[in-house]
Amino acid sequence: MMNEPEIENPFASPTTIDAHRSVEESENILFRAGDLPSRWLRLGAYLVDTLVLLVVLMPCFVASAMIAAAWDIDGDSPTAILFIHTAVVAMILISYAGINLAPLRRNGQTWGKKLCGIKVVCCDGSRADLYRLLVLRYIPFLVFWQIPIIKLLCWVDILMVFSPSKRCLHDRMADTIVVKA
């Protein structure tokens, strides 16, 4: 008989190499060549983004304080506090989207990530679309930070950067990963 090529059985048991590979190692296979950024680089990008946002939002905070003073809003009024807090959260969301919309759409980078030379891509290596970046990755955690009990989830999100794959909860929710640009 002629030598026929051996066809790999898709239903075969995993090999010993695959059987001992952890989920975290499997997630990193695609990005070993792309070299994942250090945790410090990701922290630097976050700090730059926060600084840019604070500079832009400072006039919003001043305006909300002036409105509260002009309307003689008492700090004891829960309705007034809720109104001002909601207005500030809305300003944060609108400002964050406005500042970062163009670079996020263009190449998956906020200004901080651009400055640090990192970007967000889908786990399969493709470019992450704007919906995935804003709606699944950024906006939920910007909102979660404003809710006292759920704020604990944000700390879990941050601490997940110490996993071997360096993927936070927001990365996992959006099926994204941060890589060097």
Q: Are 103 and 110 in contact (CB under 8 A)?
A: yes
Map tokens 């070299």 to a residue.
35
Q: Check residue 176 and give its pLDDT.
A: 93
Blockwise average pLDDT, block size 10, the chain, 181 residues: 60 51 49 74 91 84 76 69 77 81 90 94 90 88 83 87 88 93 87
Q: Check residue 26 and give its pLDDT.
A: 47
Q: Check residue 21 and give its pLDDT.
A: 47
Q: Check residue 27 and give its pLDDT.
A: 52
Give Dmax over CA atoms of the chain in angstroms: 95
- CA distance to 78, 87, 100, 159, 177, per residue, from 53 (Å): 27, 16, 10, 22, 23
d(CA 109, CA 165): 19
| Stated pTM of the model | 0.69
Q: How many residues does the chain have?
A: 181
